[in-house]
Structure 1
Amino acid sequence: MGLIGFLIIGLIAGWLAGKIMRGGGFGVLGDLVVGVVGAFIGGFVFRALGLFPGAGILPSLIVATIGAIILLFLIRLVKRA
């Protein structure tokens, strides 16, 4: 997947995670950052658990969204503290 595809997946994953977690969004740029960082987190978590969802757009989107949800959860924990 190229850089543009990676950024598009990140943007969609960040937006989805914001909708799933409910709360104020971070705007387009913030959602992109959350999605891209979430993709790295999701990839790390899935590899650490020994799970390999496969290649393609849908598995990549699922992994990135799960990672973005984890990231949003952590951000909200820090904001409360």
Structure 2
Amino acid sequence: MNYILFIIIGIIAGWLGSIIVKGKGQGLLVNMIVGIIGAFIGGSILDHLHIHMPGFFGLLVASTIGAVLLIWLIGLIRR
């Protein structure tokens, strides 16, 4: 059940990340995948910084941070 919640949070984070980066998204499917990968990245970054955000909102914030970073990096590479 936790994996399903993690995927849902990743999808929402990918969508939010594409809105935050403003037009740098690559389409709905890619943004969802980026959000799921971004969830791992954001969680790792916050864990290394010793920032712990429990609950649904904390996971969503960490995932969105990772998604924004990943969308930004993809945008740099695609130039």
- TM-score norm. by structure 2 comes to 0.90
Tell me the alpha carbon deviations over residues 8-29 of structure 1, each in whole angstroms, 9 at most, x when there is no partner: 1011000000001011533332
Whichever residue aligns with residue 70 of structure 2, its letter is L
CA-based RMSD of the aligned residues comes to 1.3
Secondary structure in 2 matching 1:13: helix
Q: What's the offset of the Cα at 1:6?
A: 1.1
Who is 1:22 aligned against? 22
Who is 1:42 aligned against? 42
Contact 1:11/1:28, CA 8 A, preserved across alignment: no
Who is 2:57 aligned against? 58
Query: Are positions 1:6 and 2:6 aligned together?
Result: yes
Aligned residues: 79
Identity of aligned residues (%): 46
Structure 2: give runs of 5+ residues left out of the alignment.
none
- TM-score norm. by structure 1 comes to 0.88
Question: How far apart in 2 are the matches of 1:28 and 1:57?
Answer: 22
